[in-house]
Amino acid sequence: MDLNDPATVTDKAAAAATPLLAGFDHTALENEGPKAFGDKMGTPQSDERVLWKGRPQLALLARTAFHTRTLGAYMAALALISLMLGKSDAAIVAAVLGTALVTLLYALAWASARSTLYILTDTRLIMRIGTAIETRINIPLKQITAAHLALRSKDGHGDIAFELAGERLLGTLLLWPHVRPWHYAMPQPMLRAVPDAAGLAQMIAEQRAGFGAIDLNLSEIKEAAPASGQTAPQPAALPGRLAPAMHRSEPGFEGAPA
């Protein structure tokens, strides 16, 4: 999907059910979701304008990140095959294990959604994540070189993954499940199951434009493992200006545990 084609993004955004809001009160953010307790990495500062806040939609997060539907269907198929073979005991075991597995995964998805808060300001993206140990991820907009959008539902919910300039400072385990699958060499932070994903992606692109052109436009996320086993091929870069490389002495997008 081309960010430079307004009609494309407008058509996607028109399908979304929830409008994006702007101008959130900074104090209110400290009382919603995982708290940052004034930490600069996880709290918008007085000179920042908060444009959007959100968290993953539970059912969609469970389906896309924890694969509850796929694993549930697999266990149901095992139970059905066992019945067809006349092995009722095996069918009962498969059904019970399948129910327990899906319930556990859904509970993990609920805990993940409950402990997540995404915040977009006019200069950076803040991710407060972490079920057991809260982590605050700070992503300056100027470090985003590409954004990849995947719409996951008819009401406009979807995922947005980001390619970042600079050195590899973020780890997959630190980010999971808020990370694009199969990109281990250079992990890509991802906003999971957010409402009006197309509209949000457009808002991020517009804010990022203030720091220079984004090199790669929005493209569909492919979750299947690439043949190389590492990173999937990316679309050719469009002419534009690269975001400045980050040095370790600058404020970075590394995560900080609470």
- How far apart CA 162 and CA 223 sit, in angstroms, is 14
Q: What is the pLDDT of residue 25?
A: 61
Two tokens at 179? 């990370």
Looking at 3.30.70.1430, 2.60.40.420, 1.10.3720.10, 2.30.29.30, the CATH number of the domain 6-56+116-257 comes to 2.30.29.30
Reduce the DSSP state of residue 3 to 3 states and report it: coil
The pLDDT of residue 23: 56
Higher pLDDT, 103 or 20: 103
Structure confidence by residue, pLDDT tens digits, 85-135 = 989 999 999 999 999 999 999 999 999 999 899 999 988 998 988 877 788
Q: What percent of the chain has pLDDT over 90?
A: 30
Q: What is the residue-wise DSSP string for 54-70?
A: E---HHHHHHHTS-HHH
- C-alpha–C-alpha distance, residues 106 and 12, integer Å: 29
Model pLDDT, residue 209: 84
Structure tokens at 46: 């007085």
Question: So what's the pLDDT on residue 251?
Answer: 42
- Phi, psi of 157, deg, nearest 5: -70, 145
Q: Please give the angle made by the CA atoms of 32, 38 and 43, to the nearest 5 degrees.
A: 65
DSSP 99-149: HHHHHHHHHHHHHHHHT-EEEEESSEEEEEE-SSS-EEEEEEGGGEEEEEE
Q: What is the pLDDT of residue 134?
A: 80
Can you give the pLDDT at residue 232?
38
pLDDT given for residue 186 in this prediction: 83
User: What is the arithmetic mean of pLDDT over 59-81?
Assistant: 93
Res. 14: pLDDT tops 60: no
Q: Given pLDDT bands bounded at 50, 70 and 90, which one contains residue 44?
A: confident
Reported as a single tens digit per residue, the pLDDT across 224-252 is: 433 433 433 333 333 333 333 333 333 44
Q: What is the pLDDT of residues 99-112, one digit of tens each?
A: 999 999 999 999 99
Report the pLDDT averaged over residues 209-232: 50
Task: Read off the pLDDT of residues 148-189 as tens digits, 9 standing for 90 and up.
Answer: 888 888 888 999 999 888 766 678 888 889 989 888 778 889
Name the nearest CA neighbour of 53 among 65, 44, 41: 44
Q: Provide mean pLDDT across the span 8-22.
A: 41
pLDDT at 228: 39
Provide the CB-side half-sphere exposure for 209 (13 A, CA).
Answer: 9
- In this structure, how many other beta carbons lie within 10 angstroms of the beta carbon of residue 111? 12
Instruction: Identify the three-state secondary structure at position 82.
Output: helix
Sign of CA dihedral 26, 31, 37, 39: negative
**pLDDT of amino acid 219:** 44
Residue 33 has pLDDT above 70, yes or no: no
The residue written with tokens 């250079």 in the block is 186
Strands in the chain per DSSP E: 50-54, 117-121, 124-129, 135-140, 144-151, 158-164, 190-194, 255-257
Strand order in the sheet with 144-151: 144-151, 158-164, 190-194
- In our burial notation (b when 16+ CB lie closer than 10 A, e otherwise), range 70-87 reads eebeebeebbeebeeeee
Banded pLDDT at 38 (limits 50, 70, 90):
low
